[in-house]
Amino acid sequence: MEFHQWLPECPAFSMRLKQLDGATPDQKIADLKFLSQQRLDFVKTNALATKIGTMMSSLGAEHVAQCGPAVKIALVSSHTVSHLAGGISVGALRRGFIAELFFGQYGLYRNELLQPDPNLKTFAPNVIVIANDVHDVNFDLSLDSTHRDVRLAIDAKISELARLWRQARLHFNATIIQQTLLNTHYNVFGSYESVLPGAPCSVIELFNARLREVAAEERTLLFDFDLQAALKGYEQTIDRVRWHQAKQLVSPALSPWYGDLLARVIAAAYGLSKKAVVLDLDNTLWGGVVGDDGIEGIVLGQGSAAGESYIDFQRYLQGLSSRGIILAVCSKNDAAIAEDVFKSHPDMLLRRENIASFVANWDSKATNVRRIALELNIGLDSVVFVDDNPAEREIIRRELPMVSVPELPDDVAHYAACLSAAGYFEAASFSKEDVERADLYRANSRRQQEFSETTDMEGFLKSLDMRLEVGRVSKMNIGRVTQLTNKTNQFNLRTVKYTEAEVDRLMRDKEALALQFRLKDKFGDNGIIAVILARPNERWPADTLFIDTWLMSCRVLGRGVEAASLEALSQYACELGLKRLIGEYRPTARNKMVSDHYQKLGFRRFVRGVDADSSSTFWLMDLPPANTLTHHIEVDITNDEQRDLHPANERIPRSISR
């Protein structure tokens, strides 16, 4: 089966793999990442995975950290899975993290999770993937079963699974990922199969449909392997020989494909999915060169197959935009001519206001992509660069290796399919925040404009009519809060990354304060822009609140949010009867901007004997605070947060997950 067509081929793979041994540590990391971004079959993938393993154990922690967070993944199953290790570790590196793997024993997943297995306990997984199959779930239903019979049988199996998830969460404090059942049943009726609820294929289809619902309710992440296999075609993805030979549900030959699919889901849970698409214009969004052919000469819209294909691609991009992916333009063009197509071409589907950052000039694309990332305030590693020109793609890959560059097919009819198959934008939740993101970035650019015109800062801040809504973290925003702890690298005092299960635990902890902050102003809602997680800690007296996490989105810098947040935090802490706050600044390569955060807020620095040699600084403030700091934000402390689309959970609507 063909897979990973969006990745470029690597003719000199074996040579490059060998050259790794003599390279410097920095070069090793760069090369391993580069190789993980190539199209590799399973033999090469396994060879690369072996190298990743040996190099990660020999390189220092600071180098390993450049490959992203280390995630301990336990794959427990009802079939053989250990041969998937290579595919998963290469997929992980490609998707921005390091996978440490634990494989359960063949068929023993229930015991391992329930007892629980001491080896698994020692491993202490961050993520547990449950992979079972139709042989394991094994329905005993007659062909003439009614819908009700089938529903009851399915519900019984699924409640059993749900109990398993809850137990596993309790024992391991890990994020649970459930795989859908690969529908390996043979068709016994043909098209009539789906009419009969009791026919084997139907039962599994109905089971998977119900599993998707219950997983969302239980906040278990879903790895919809059956959907992915169906998209590729069961004939290609189901290998009967390997099942009979070794009870392998997934053929070793497909392990790179499987590993990448699983890695995407985990990456999404860790907030590592891509955030923005940077688009070329000529021969990418329309056919022809607008500078030469003129607005009436470009190929776009009805009347030709190519023109329709460009519309199809634009429609796909619009779909991405409406689920919160930022669109930007990077084109070698005259800016006025390029923008005019967006404003005046009758068939143009994407509008100028869909584009958060529009850069059309004659500078190099690497320079421009850097500029766009800065303007949007996102990391280059969150950017996907889409360009029909292979030379431009090569330049970006060389100059900005952290940017994802799909190998766009020659035919525009396949552009959307290529981008979709590449899986850059996998989601682990979907909320109102995401829907509103496009508005948010537009409002931000208007704010930016007004700000650049102002000379009176105080007056400007007052005129914004800002309101900070503060509340405890709840089921309704836990997804966003977790995402922020994983994504925020600059304004983050200690840079502690959390899984959803860990935030959930803090949320329920009576002694802890898990607070989220939403900023609104006259231009609109900025969404949840700051998080504080704090708890008394055995290192200090019981009446002291230690600030474990204080992070803020950089897009609201310079607006006094820090002072307003401190006001709210103090109020919460005083209500709990606490007498002082302690904060720590733990420096990383990227959070220098907050080195004097506590000092600015009026905390006193103190030196801890134990940590005298650590690079951290510690800061103290007595409660209630002696003086309040001036800011122009109305602070509104609420107890419930009711803004998400799905009040009981952050279920991903089906229309969007597909």
Partner 1 sequence: MTSKEIYIQLTNVFREVFQDDGLVITPATTAEDVAGWDSAAHINLMLAIEARLGIVFNTSEIDEMRTVGDLAEAIERKMN
Contact residues for partner 1 (CB under 8 A)? 14, 41-44, 46-47, 50, 80, 82-83, 241-242, 244-246, 248, 251-253
CB of 248 to partner 1, least distance (A): 7
- Pick the closer one to partner 1 by CB: 43 or 231: 43
CB of 252 to partner 1, least distance (A): 5
Do the beta carbons of residue 71 and residue 126 sit within 8 Å? yes
- Helix, coil or strand: residue 302: coil
Query: Is the N-terminal amide bond of 624 cis, ω within 30° of 0?
Result: yes
- Pick the closer one to partner 1 by CB: 238 or 637: 238
CB of 367 to partner 1, least distance (A): 41
Q: Are strands 524-535 and 513-521 parallel, antiparallel or unpaired?
A: antiparallel
CB of 272 to partner 1, least distance (A): 29
CB of 184 to partner 1, least distance (A): 16
CA 534 to chain centre: 25
- Helix, coil or strand: residue 272: coil
Do the beta carbons of residue 328 and residue 276 sit within 8 Å? yes
- Pick the closer one to partner 1 by CB: 248 or 526: 248
Do the beta carbons of residue 331 and residue 338 sit within 8 Å? yes
- Helix, coil or strand: residue 632: coil
Break the chain down into helix, strand, coil percent, rounded to 5. 45, 20, 35
Distance separating alpha carbons of residues 428 and 363, to the nearest angstrom? 37
Strand partners, 174: none
CB of 18 to partner 1, least distance (A): 8
Distance separating alpha carbons of residues 161 and 207, to the nearest angstrom? 12
| List of residues 6+ apart from 316 with CB closer than 8 A | 415, 416, 419, 420
- Pick the closer one to partner 1 by CB: 103 or 123: 103
CB of 8 to partner 1, least distance (A): 20
- Pick the closer one to partner 1 by CB: 80 or 89: 80
- Pick the closer one to partner 1 by CB: 248 or 486: 248
Do the beta carbons of residue 369 and residue 400 sit within 8 Å? yes
Q: Which two tokens stand for residue 193?
A: 């199969």
Beta carbons within 10 angstroms of residue 427's beta carbon:
20
- Helix, coil or strand: residue 498: coil
- Pick the closer one to partner 1 by CB: 83 or 371: 83
CB of 243 to partner 1, least distance (A): 11
- Pick the closer one to partner 1 by CB: 243 or 385: 243
CB of 50 to partner 1, least distance (A): 6
- Pick the closer one to partner 1 by CB: 10 or 637: 10
Do the beta carbons of residue 238 and residue 229 sit within 8 Å? yes
